[in-house]
Amino acid sequence: MKRLMSIMMVLLSVSLCAQSVFEFKTKEIEPVTLMATYSMRYTEDSLNTDFLPQEDMLLLIGKNTSCFMSYNYYLFVNSLKKITTDIAYKEWLMNPDLRPPVTRFTYRIIKANDQGKITFYGRVMPDFFTYDEPREIFKWTLCSDTISINGYLCQKAKTKFGGRTWIAWFSTALPYPDGPYKFSGLPGLIVKLNDTQNHYTFEMLSIAKPSEMMMIEIGDENYISTTKKEFFKAEDAYHDDIINRAKEAGLSSDSQQTAARNMAKRNNPIELERK
């Protein structure tokens, strides 16, 4: 499975850079003032709840915006940005030791405080898509329960989103109305978040000012503007057609079947309501 994911990430990098390494660009939005790292544990296969993959995720907070993304995807993008020649790019493609760990999560979520919206940037090969949602989608119920998490006094809150009921623990000691994934709107940063089935759990590991200059940015790809419903429709169609997609990518018959079996196990997305 790791080999297949590695192949897919290489294919992604090829499509990102198209004809030449020099074509890879990003659009800068604003400087990062705080960087929070979350551990995400998730149930990929609803029929195998004992298998809980883990991945670190980043929440980059700026003055007016924030960006949520996979830490490994952040490393992947930044490793590409450091390449300056076509020869170095080809070496990067061929040598797995030069590439960061693979990730399934190649999206970025931009929350714009001044515009009151959440913008999702994602990929359904071979296309890039983006869609907007209002930040007011979360209707929080504040509870009186409090606990200490990683040294922060946190208060409990509940909401419903994406077909799941969520429990958040936020801290007013961190006065940022933000959190992992698309979640926001509480009077403090979300330190821990999980759905009531514990299929998805986010827990903050650290928060600090970046040690060097960092920018909130998005890829400079030609994104197709769509709706959330149409994006999920395209994503579901890709999953249903994985054998043909794997064949087009040049994978062997055995690898195509392996890709199909692995894709069938990805049956528990964070948003169950695909509309």
Residue ranges of alpha helices (H) inside 112-177 are none
Quick check: is 183 in a domain? no
pLDDT range class, residue 242, cuts 50, 70, 90:
confident
For every residue of 60-79, DSSP letters joined together read EE-SSEEEEEEHHHHHHHHH
E strand spans, the chain: 26-31, 34-42, 54-61, 65-70, 108-112, 117-124, 127-134, 141-149, 152-161, 164-171, 189-195, 200-208, 215-219, 224-225
Query: What is the identity of the amino acid at 93?
Result: L
CA-closest candidate to residue 243, choices 222, 223, 265, 258: 258
pLDDT digits (tens, 9 = 90+) for 119-152: 999 999 888 999 999 988 999 999 999 999 999 9
User: Sign of the C-alpha dihedral, residues 10, 258, 267, 239?
Assistant: positive
Quick check: is 191 in a domain? no
pLDDT range class, residue 80, cuts 50, 70, 90:
confident
Quick check: is 113 in a domain? yes
Element (H, E) at 9: helix 2-17
Quick check: is 37 in a domain? yes
The tokens for 56 are 């670190």
Task: Give me the domain span that covers residue 214.
Answer: 2-137+199-264
Quick check: is 245 in a domain? yes
Other CB atoms within 10 Å distance of the CB of residue 264: 12
Contact 226, 129 (CB under 8 A): yes
State residue 3's pLDDT score: 46
State residue 20's pLDDT score: 46
User: Sign of the C-alpha dihedral, residues 219, 223, 225, 226?
Assistant: negative
Quick check: is 275 in a domain? no
Burial class of 104 by CB neighbour count within 10 A (0 to 12, 13 to 18, 19+) = middle
Q: How many residues does the chain have?
A: 275
Contact 74, 56 (CB under 8 A): no
CA-CA-CA-CA dihedral for 230, 233, 235, 240, to nearest 10: -160
**Interval 62-84 mean pLDDT:** 90
Residue ranges of alpha helices (H) inside 61-185 are 71-81, 86-94
Q: Distance (Å, rounded) from C-alpha 196 to C-alpha 167? A: 7
Number of domains comprising the chain: 1
State residue 10's pLDDT score: 45
Contact 146, 154 (CB under 8 A): yes
| Adjacent-strand bridge partners of 68 | 59, 109
Quick check: is 158 in a domain? no
Q: What's the whole-model pTM score?
A: 0.88
Contact 92, 188 (CB under 8 A): no
Quick check: is 20 in a domain? yes
- Check pLDDT > 60 for residue 7: no
pLDDT digits (tens, 9 = 90+) for 199-238: 999 999 999 999 999 999 998 778 999 999 999 999 999 8
Contact 130, 108 (CB under 8 A): no
The tokens for 178 are 């933000």
